[in-house]
Amino acid sequence: MPDILDIIRRDHEKVMGIIEDLDKSRAVARERERPFAELKKEITQHMDAEEKVFYPALERNERDDILEAIEEHNVTRTVSDDMDNTPMDSDRWKAKLKVLKELTEHHIEEEEDKIFKEARKDLSKDQLEDMGKRFEEAKGIMYR
């Protein structure tokens, strides 16, 4: 059964895939609209579920890393909201996408390295699997 770390890693791959596609896209709004809407939905659900189910289980031991991760989520929300209000065929939109890409790459690296290590240390395989179920539920419930 996949545990929460498997599910988070799978989400990360999906998000980076969409960002790569957008990075390669032409500066034509109608080509970017759909993948960007998909990206926003994916990252929003993912970050909300991490903050609800994953981070609280670790907060006591890794407080500084978790606080930093939450602030990175907040910056990600700000940049992606900002992209909604910027013409999609503009150079400024592309510049914001680059910032979002760098931010996301950095965040994923720290999450899968430092934070996953702590999770494996603090939590049993059973707990990680149970959290996986709750993580999926949190993503479903919030957007049903």
Least distance CB 8 / Fe ion (angstroms): 5
Question: Taking the complex as a whole, how short is the minimal distance between the CB of residue 142 and Fe ion, in angstroms?
Answer: 15
In angstroms, what is the C-alpha Rg of the chain? 16
Pick between residue 65 and residue 111 the one whose CB is nearest to Fe ion: 111
Backbone angles phi, psi at 85, to 5 degrees: -100, 15
CB 69, min distance to Fe ion, A: 5
Size of the site for Fe ion (CB under 5 A): 2
Q: C-beta of 144: minimal distance to Fe ion in Å?
A: 21
Helical axes 4-24 vs 91-110, angle rounded to 10°: 160
Q: Which two structure tokens, joined as six digits, stand for 97? A: 């996408």
Residue 127 to residues 29, 38, 44, 106, 122, Cα–Cα distance (Å):
44, 30, 24, 27, 10
Cβ-based nearer residue to Fe ion, 49 or 83: 49
Binding mask 62-81 for Fe ion (x = CB under 5 A): --------------------
- Taking the C-alpha atoms of residue 116 and residue 58, their distance in angstroms, rounded to an integer, is 10
Q: Which of residues 91-120 bind Fe ion (CB under 5 A)?
A: 111
Residues 25-64 within binding reach of Fe ion (CB under 5 A): 50
Nearer to Fe ion, 50 or 65 (CB): 50
Exposure of 131 in the CB half-sphere (CA atoms within 13 A)? 25
Positions touching Fe ion (CB under 5 A) are 50, 111
